[in-house]
Amino acid sequence: MIISVPKEVMPREKRVALVPDTAAKLIKKGFVIQVEKDAGFNAGFTNEQYEKAGVKLVDSVSELYSNADIVLKVQRPVDHPDQNKHEIELIKEGTLLITLMYSLHYPEVAQKCAEKGINVIAMEAIPRTTLAQKMDALSSQANLAGYKSVLVAANHLRKIFPLMMTAAGTIQPARVVIMGAGVAGLQALGTARRLGAVVEVSDIRSAVKEEVQSLGGRFIEVDGAEDMQDSGGYAKEASEEFLKKQKELIFKHVTEADIVITTALVPGRKAPILVSEEMVKNMKPGSVVLDMAVEFGGNCEVSEKDKVVTKHNVTIIGESNLPSLVALNASEVYSKNLMALLEHISKEGVVELNREDEIVKGSLICFEKDVVHERTKDLL
């Protein structure tokens, strides 16, 4: 089977779906791999590295898509700037597209794929089970995003992170508040602690308290918090009453912080507002808010997608694609996620989709001209 890897065309996207090392391993498993010329350039992978790995480089985008059995991408299909066509139009019927589709946020893209007869596996829909751990692209990308979020925020802060004793006096450590103790939040906590900050973490799931404390963070606990974690390990959508109680408690912590990093997402829903404009008004001059949920509406009421703005003397960072800022490592781990999935659904270089398999069942969005993912279908 022929695997095609195009260059990502979504603005600000520097990652590539397949790196040379992983491509070489898939070739040994019986796949033929072709990659668009310069597809890995922005992530730090040269055409020569791909050729050395046994990959065929293709100049023509239409040729790349026309003979592919499987297309591997990072981002969902969008309008192609050089082809005057949508990427879906370039993919032939019967092709298996594996990508981060976010079909619960963009169900119309899934619908178009189904109409064209493109079968789609969404990497963000891979079940969070032990068996699927190696394929968990959401976690692999969130891990790197959490790390980078701290460095980006630190660059905009007017002070240093660690406690420092100098002849001129003692410099107090920075105070960081992280909202959400998922994969991104815990990595942000670990990174901020390594840099010497005092870190407090808020999460609606009381089950994460021990993890936060084990990494050296202080857990901000809401009184009477019920367990807000679903069977898949994601945060449930909280009630208005709970969010109100949480905001009142967090107001004090946020307004005393130097940096606030928000990471709260609910699959398929608009991100909950955790930092109101009123909170921002009461923050210390020069403090920083980094909103990791800005692509899906944002956790901060006044953040703006892909912009760094100053409001009420507070810097608010709305970077929607943090993994792309560490594109080399993000591509490496995403590539390994894809390889683990392909190993699971193929035998000797031939993919066979078993609809009864729990991983296929959970992540298959479109199949044989139909949207088969129930939650996506409900949105159409």
Q: Cβ-count burial of 22 within 10 angstroms (0-12 exposed, 13-18 middle, 19+ buried)?
A: buried
Which residues are CB-neighbours of 185 under 8 A, at least 6 positions away?
Answer: 146, 178, 179, 201, 203, 261, 263
Q: 180: which strand partners?
A: none
**Active-site option among 38, 49, 111, 234:** 234
In sequence order, the β-bridge partners of residue 259 are 176, 288
CB 339 within 8 A of CB 25: yes
| CB neighbourhood size of 28 (10 A) | 10
Give Cβ neighbours of residue 283 (< 8 Å, ≥ 6 apart). 254, 255, 257, 260, 289, 312, 314
Q: How many CA atoms lie within 13 A of 331 on its CB side?
A: 28
Q: Are strands 70-75 and 96-100 parallel, antiparallel or unpaired?
A: parallel
- The amino acid at 11: P
Question: 75, 103, 139, 287: which is the annotated catalytic residue?
Answer: 139
The residue to which tokens 């901000």 are assigned? 220
Active-site residue flag, 133: yes
Q: Are 293 and 264 in contact (CB under 8 A)?
A: yes
234 is catalytic: yes
Residue 96 backbone dihedrals phi, psi, to 5 degrees = -95, 115
List Cβ neighbours of 261 (8 Å cut-off, separation of 6 or more): 149, 150, 153, 176, 177, 178, 179, 185, 188, 289, 290, 292
Let me know if 136 is a catalytic residue.
Answer: yes
For 347, other C-beta atoms within 10 Å of its C-beta total: 10
Active-site choice (66, 133, 213, 239): 133
Which residue among 21, 106, 128, 229 is the active-site one? 128
Distance from C-alpha of 132 to C-alpha of 137, rounded to nearest angstrom: 10
Active site residue 218: no
Active site residue 128: yes
Burial (CB count <10 Å: 0-12, 13-18, 19+), residue 234: middle
Q: Which residues are catalytic, by number? A: 128, 133, 136, 139, 234
